[in-house]
Amino acid sequence: MSKKIVVIGGVAGGASAAARVRRLDEQAEIVMFERGPFVSFSNCCLPFHLSETIENADDLVLMTPEQFKKQYNIIAKVQHEVIRIDKEAKAVFVRNVHTLEESTEFYDELVLSPGAKAIMPESIKGIESQHVFSVRNVPDIDQIKRYIDEKKVENVTVVGGGFIGLEVAENLQMAGKKVTLIEAANQVMTPFDHDMAQILHKEIMDHTVDLILEDRLVEIKADEVVLGSGKAIPTQAVVMAIGVVPETELAVASGLKLGKTGAIKVNHHYQTSDPNIYAVGDAIEVTHQQTGKVTQLTMAGPAQRQARAAADHIYGRTYRNHGVIGSSVVRVFGMNAACTGLNEKQCQEESLDYRTSYVIPKDKVGLMPGARPIFFKLIYAYPSGKILGAQCIGEGNVDKRVDVIATMIRFNGNLEDLKELELCYSPDYGTAKDAVNMAALVGLNVLNGEYKQVPVTEIRGLVESGAFIIDGREEGEYIEGHIKGAVNIPMSQFRERLNEIPKDRPVYVHCLSSQRSYNMVRALGMLGYKHVYNLMGSFLGLSMYEYFTDQVEAREPIVTNYRFDLL
Amino acid sequence: MSKKIVVIGGVAGGASAAARVRRLDEQAEIVMFERGPFVSFSNCCLPFHLSETIENADDLVLMTPEQFKKQYNIIAKVQHEVIRIDKEAKAVFVRNVHTLEESTEFYDELVLSPGAKAIMPESIKGIESQHVFSVRNVPDIDQIKRYIDEKKVENVTVVGGGFIGLEVAENLQMAGKKVTLIEAANQVMTPFDHDMAQILHKEIMDHTVDLILEDRLVEIKADEVVLGSGKAIPTQAVVMAIGVVPETELAVASGLKLGKTGAIKVNHHYQTSDPNIYAVGDAIEVTHQQTGKVTQLTMAGPAQRQARAAADHIYGRTYRNHGVIGSSVVRVFGMNAACTGLNEKQCQEESLDYRTSYVIPKDKVGLMPGARPIFFKLIYAYPSGKILGAQCIGEGNVDKRVDVIATMIRFNGNLEDLKELELCYSPDYGTAKDAVNMAALVGLNVLNGEYKQVPVTEIRGLVESGAFIIDGREEGEYIEGHIKGAVNIPMSQFRERLNEIPKDRPVYVHCLSSQRSYNMVRALGMLGYKHVYNLMGSFLGLSMYEYFTDQVEAREPIVTNYRFDLL
């Protein structure tokens, strides 16, 4: 007897589950219901239609129901909403959203992949207006694009600085719109720590997007939005991207259990509280590999793996479920920004003892044309050195560095392993000692107590308190821009100028990217200086961290002159 | 009492060792001798001067002896050759290559980093000519560039298809020269298997380099070179890049032991047979992590790690020496080519039972502009699924895929681990299921016996023997170019056309990149077809594999029409 599999939801999770079932069972009867007009579209590509990077909205649809039938012998019914599940009878009740006609479909196994929906807070006045949009599917993005084009909209407000918000803002800016990006927190992209997010803030601001942090949308009017601060921003269209909530109505109505986070609870094999009903994708809660806690993760990669695992389990296959670590990458104008594992905030929430390395090497050999700095932050456990996470931002290949760390996390790698990792090298692709190796070396010095350092977040305080700061760069570099009050003692001179360096108070050393200051810190330590610290990130890191806040707060910079042309 | 450390050789290994010693011991007296005129130059960047990608040869020198003194308090003596080591007295005898003046330097610990020299076989007539060059250091590359510019050389012959040979050929071609590349083996880049090398051969040929395989240089005349085949090639300059041999004269003369490979033998801590003498870099033999065998590896990354490890051991630090796996990447015109671990040839030499996956997905989501195929070959042990190696070639980010595999090899990862690896994804950087994940999925199907496949190397034989081959692409794709004799049964039709597919003989299925044929092979297997095989790489892989040989041998293609515009 062949099985009958019903799938609810026809995008990443649902379509993957259906296709995988077909590969496992050529005889299975597979029916997939999708409430919307399309199955198998590329959610992740939606924002790119706004800039016409993807010209036609139609291209976002990867497969039609006809193709599902022909290629996979899967019956895909769009604009069919499942309104009720009868777990005892193993039946779903379906309504054609056009004709309102209802029908019943029986199943042996049911896979739920209902996804998540945009949060549209009713507390915001005017949220129901015609010119307020969200980005969840092809009709959404098509509608925004048409509206903006037809109404010749010039000013768009994007609310929310996560993946979708940033991608929408960027693509609208590329389309020539004046974009305001509003984020309630003090940073965009919460998977990154605040220090790293400052690099993104600078990049966003440099591309003429008006970035407003720590403010909230209160009211949407016809031609402006009003913020909590009272600020009014002229705008003819609003895109809401403050987050999503799992679509759980059907699950709840059917008596399936939700988890702590409010998403559908599943076991190791993605079975819900009813063993014949599986759930995958944005609507479920998943377990974090490193913290062991449940969380929500709205990402395509994990959704596809979950779908495959569910299908496999239907056919009696075991699955080793390791949980998720949350690897991701996003383009923010000229910058690529990737991260994986735990960030500092998460480590603190978990009360983990951790340390960080912050290195800013070039992404390839400095001699090669186009070599650019990458800002790489590594987070590791103290004192074990176990790798916990990484964040990397730069114009070059940051994703490969973070993929390596993601792989290490999977295997519980530590700093010793990372230091020795033998990666692909030639001058156009990296450096013989890659950024990830360097970060490990710095980390080992920290673990071994051979190296003390001050995070970029604390440098302003030191400067303001008149700490003794040594700038180890050459005089010409110093003159063009330096930390106010820093004493210029180049690495090439410090051994002859030890008399200028006090032994009775802490000494803080930096250079451009910490390569020279690293050597100076080590040497001074051996020369009897007991309290020598490296300023993490040095002049590059400090500049990236401070610049944005200086601008938005019209604050006095702690340097005489920023020199971003040195990057 | 402060230690005195003498270092012989001032490039990658030597300079790294000296700098590391300084970081460990501010009081140490460090003297570094270099026979050539420069210390600390970038060997890896040398070829890029030929195309003026690196305009000035001077830029290749990263640090002068003066800088070593000022920044690191290291005495670097260039044009000083160490002519003898007295192990008992712990002294080296040094000759100034200009003045021929000799001096003695005592050491507590000695680090040898003499490097390797180009093989210049005396059996080749005319090898001593003025217009025959090798590429080992800055004067070498400066000399070639000057000679070519001053003599207005138009035709250059490069001998040897390894890293250096390819980079030299490419940079000369970029400089507008007519380049002939001669390789004695049947492929360039031996770290790659022959099937993958064919992709490089096509790329080289497409860029008007005259690539001659399986032929040897016999004689160099003033205006031509003569090959073993009798062929004569007009040429006004010859660059020899057939390989290097470790510089062991000094070690041998000093009674230090060599290993099986003829390179200097070292222990776990890079100590030679004399415990006060360390050796690092191209002159030593290293142990392969996977085979446990000694080998030579002339690469900057490992050299730097060895240097650090040697310095660390001098100061009593332990080191976990894992051996090498040989990760590398090279640009071949428009293609990036990276590999790590064992290739098929090495697996065969080691009598390992292995299988391969060959997948050709896009490097990013297909909808995104600039999405291009990557040719990814994964090698894993049978039946354990342990990852053994990978080779990846494409226009996009191949190095990140291979770095992930390099990391997995370090941790003895297997296909199950790789399938689940959670890597950075967004549409511009990869696919939700990345190439490496896909290769693992294919591999698991192979291990589970759910999938049989024929390597690209055997497809011609099948075609010529009249095997039953199904082309699962749509009719329009088939018409524009297909395997001769293949039957076009698109994936969208095969279930209705089963009567055309014989059950009593083997059936071979392909499509464009094996995505569709994968589904068809699975389905046919479940429909009672006992001998269904996927043609690995499908039409893309087959075309890449066959095209080059067709051209050079003026051989009848096994396809009606190559369609590289489909890539």
Q: Is B60 on the interface with A (CB under 8 A)?
A: yes
> Residue holding tokens 């919460």?
A190
Contact flag B519-A71 (C-beta cutoff 8 Å) = yes
Contact flag B399-A430 (C-beta cutoff 8 Å) = yes
pLDDT confidence tier of residue A450, bands split at 50, 70 and 90: confident
Q: Which residues of B touch A474 (CB under 8 A)?
A: none
* 3-state DSSP assignment of residue B348: helix
**What's the pLDDT at B567?**
77
> Can you tell me the distance from the alpha carbon of B272 to that of B281, in angstroms, rounded to the nearest whole number?
13
Q: Is A261 on the interface with B (CB under 8 A)?
A: no
Those of residues 121-150 in A touching chain B at CB distance below 8 A are none
Beta strands in A197-250 (DSSP E): 210-213, 217-220, 224-227, 232-234, 237-240, 244-246
> Residue holding tokens 């509608």?
A143
> Residue holding tokens 């290949």?
A397
Q: Is A423 on the interface with B (CB under 8 A)?
A: yes
First to last CA, chain B: 66
**What's the pLDDT at A552?**
87
A-B CB pairs within 8 A amount to 244
Taking the mean position of all CA atoms in its chain, how far away is CA B379?
Answer: 16
**What's the pLDDT at A319?**
85
**Rg from Cα positions in chain A:** 27
Those of residues 520-559 in A touching chain B at CB distance below 8 A are 522-523, 526-527
**What's the pLDDT at A1?**
74
Q: Which of A26, A70, A404 sits opposite B523 (nearest CB)?
A: A26
Contact flag B492-A70 (C-beta cutoff 8 Å) = yes
What are the pLDDT tens digits along chain B (567 aa)?
A: 799 999 999 998 999 999 999 999 999 999 999 999 999 999 999 999 999 999 999 999 999 999 999 999 999 999 999 999 999 999 999 999 999 999 999 999 999 999 999 999 999 999 999 999 999 999 999 999 999 999 999 999 999 999 999 999 999 999 999 999 999 999 999 999 999 999 999 999 999 999 999 999 999 999 999 999 999 999 999 999 999 999 999 999 999 999 999 999 999 999 999 999 999 999 999 999 999 999 999 999 999 999 999 999 999 998 889 999 999 999 999 999 999 999 999 999 999 999 999 999 999 999 999 999 999 999 999 999 999 999 999 999 999 999 999 999 999 999 999 999 999 999 999 999 999 999 999 999 999 988 899 999 999 999 999 999 999 999 999 999 999 999 999 999 999 999 999 999 999 999 999 999 999 999 999 999 999 999 999 999 999 999 999 988 889 999 999 988 877
Contact flag B12-A402 (C-beta cutoff 8 Å) = no
Q: Is B253 on the interface with A (CB under 8 A)?
A: no
**What's the pLDDT at B183?**
98
Q: Is B224 on the interface with A (CB under 8 A)?
A: no
Residue of B41, B45, B367 to mutate for A, most A C-beta atoms under 10 A: B367
Those of residues 370-399 in A touching chain B at CB distance below 8 A are 397, 399
Contact flag A327-B523 (C-beta cutoff 8 Å) = no
Those of residues 440-499 in A touching chain B at CB distance below 8 A are 491-493, 495
Plot region of B289 (φ>0 → left; ψ -120 to 50 → alpha; else → beta): alpha
Contact flag B329-A425 (C-beta cutoff 8 Å) = yes
Q: Which residues of B touch A72 (CB under 8 A)?
A: 519
Q: Which two tokens stand for residue A385?
A: 């050195």
Q: Which residues of A touch B397 (CB under 8 A)?
A: 397, 399-400
Q: Which residues of A touch B328 (CB under 8 A)?
A: 424-426
Q: Is B3 on the interface with A (CB under 8 A)?
A: no
**What's the pLDDT at B528?**
94
**What's the pLDDT at B566?**
77
Those of residues 312-341 in B touching chain A at CB distance below 8 A are 320, 322, 324-331, 336, 338-340
A491 vs chain B: nearest CA distance in angstroms? 6
**What's the pLDDT at A423?**
97
B289 vs chain A: nearest CA distance in angstroms? 11
> Residue holding tokens 């913290």?
A291
Residue of A59, A367, A442, A521 to mutate for B, most B C-beta atoms under 10 A: A367
Q: Which residues of B125-164 are buried (b: 16+ CB within 10 A; e: fewer)?
A: ebeeeebbbbbbbbebbbbbbebbeeeebebbbbbbbbbb
Plot region of A17 (φ>0 → left; ψ -120 to 50 → alpha; else → beta): alpha
CA nearest neighbour of B114 among B305, B208, B245: B245
Chain A residue closest in CA terms to B398 = A400
Q: Which of B54, B327, B422 sits opposite A302 (nearest CB)?
A: B422
A23 vs chain B: nearest CA distance in angstroms? 6
* Beta bridge mates, B158: B181, B239
The pLDDT mean for chain A works out to: 96
**What's the pLDDT at B365?**
96
**What's the pLDDT at A141?**
97
pLDDT tens-digit map of A377-389: 999 999 999 999 9
Query: What average pLDDT does this structure show over A224-244?
Result: 98
Cis peptide bond prior to A302, omega within 30° of 0: no
**What's the pLDDT at B565?**
82
**What's the pLDDT at A566?**
77
Q: Which residues of B touch A331 (CB under 8 A)?
A: 426, 428-429
Chain B residue closest in CA terms to A392 = B424
Is the separation of the CB atoms in A328 and A163 below 8 Å?
yes
> Can you tell me the distance from the alpha carbon of B322 to that of B407, in angstroms, rounded to the nearest whole number?
13
**What's the pLDDT at B58?**
94
Q: Which residues of B touch A368 (CB under 8 A)?
A: 45, 48, 53-54
Residue of B426, B431, B522 to mutate for A, most A C-beta atoms under 10 A: B426
> Can you tell me the distance from the alpha carbon of B440 to that of B420, in angstroms, rounded to the nearest whole number?
9
Q: Which of B67, B328, B422 sits opposite A301 (nearest CB)?
A: B422
Plot region of A243 (φ>0 → left; ψ -120 to 50 → alpha; else → beta): left
Contact flag A425-B22 (C-beta cutoff 8 Å) = no
Q: Which of B25, B42, B411 sits opposite A365 (nearest CB)?
A: B42
A330 vs chain B: nearest CA distance in angstroms? 6
**What's the pLDDT at A565?**
82
Contact flag A326-B422 (C-beta cutoff 8 Å) = yes
**What's the pLDDT at A318?**
85
CA nearest neighbour of B24 among A288, A526, A502, A322: A526
Q: List all residues 6 or more positions away from B465 whose beta carbon is below 8 Å from its beta carbon.
A: none
Q: Which residues of B touch A493 (CB under 8 A)?
A: 70
Task: Give the type of residue at B154.
Answer: E
Query: What average pLDDT does this structure show over A55-69?
Result: 95
* 3-state DSSP assignment of residue A272: coil
Does the pLDDT value for residue A567 go beyond 80? Answer: no
> Can you tell me the distance from the alpha carbon of B322 to that of B268, in angstroms, rounded to the nearest whole number?
9
B15 vs chain A: nearest CA distance in angstroms? 13
Q: List all residues 6 or more positions away from B434 whose beta carbon is below 8 Å from its beta carbon.
A: A301, B401, B421, B423, B425
> Can you tell me the distance from the alpha carbon of B436 to that of A248, in angstroms, rounded to the nearest whole number?
33
Query: What average pLDDT does this structure show over A105-133?
Result: 97
Contact flag B70-A402 (C-beta cutoff 8 Å) = no
Contact flag A23-B301 (C-beta cutoff 8 Å) = no
**What's the pLDDT at B450?**
87
Q: Is A27 on the interface with B (CB under 8 A)?
A: yes
